[in-house]
Structure 1
């Protein structure tokens, strides 16, 4: 894999780089991710927090409670509104990059689905992925499955 990945918001005001290999990629079907993505799910690319470098612009932030009850800080472009990152108060060592903001998404292959109990009824959940009805207590299986796919 590449080891440096670039991305940004729709209007180009914010640009970032990921300077390490991602840890996992999953789809989240919670109602908040459906709302923020204006779609059936959100994509979260988990990476080490210190690997994300903002090279242009300054994201705005707001906090909300996730369906799990945990606090999430949502970072977005103040001009076009594109959601870029989710920081979780309970895990400061990683950050979730909203994977659709990457310049090249052709290599992305999610390994799991979270919050399948609130997935849209027309979404087909693949049984070859790791699937969780809600928030998994342990995310290590998602990391392990990602590592297997990219070794």
Structure 2
């Protein structure tokens, strides 16, 4: 059984996930764009893995967008996206909040019809290993 550890940006909320990850989607829907402030959300999904909060459960809050299935859990102190359980027990883990390495590669891009117009130009940009001078 695989075990993953994660935390929020400020370190208040820490968690453990035990079990296997089923898929890793890069979601380009408009909700995820607003949610992340970026081109897409990178989320891991599992039907069977179990989430255990190690610290900071009182700092975790969840927002569900009315009349949708879009749901986001985050730290009330730093705003970092955190795991949550959707209907039917589907565990959704924002990939960036994991402290453990994940062996699974992204499975697919989803909701690509909603891609940001500027996203197609990203591969042509100059790349830096850190902040440019």
TM-score by length of 2: 0.77
Deviation at 1:6, TM superposition (A): 0.5
Unpaired segments of 5 or more residues in structure 2? 121-133
Unpaired segments of 5 or more residues in structure 1? 125-151
Give the match for residue 92 of structure 1.
88
Structure 2 Cα separation of the partners of residues 4 and 106 of structure 1: 10
Identify which of structures 1 and 2 has the higher relative contact order when contacts are C-alpha pairs closer than 8 Å and 6+ apart: 2
Structure 2 Cα separation of the partners of residues 71 and 115 of structure 1: 14
Give the match for residue 81 of structure 1.
79
Tell me if structure 2 keeps the 8 A contact 1:72–1:87.
Answer: no
Tell me if structure 2 keeps the 8 A contact 1:43–1:98.
Answer: yes
Give the match for residue 104 of structure 1.
100
SS of residue in 2 equivalent to 1:71? coil
Tell me if structure 1 keeps the 8 A contact 2:5–2:16.
Answer: yes
Give the match for residue 63 of structure 1.
64
Q: Greater CA deviation, 106-115 or 94-103?
A: 106-115
**Is the radius of gyration larger for structure 1 or structure 2?**
2
> What is the alpha-carbon root mean square deviation over aligned residues?
2.1
Aligned residue-pair number = 118
Deviation at 1:74, TM superposition (A): 1.8
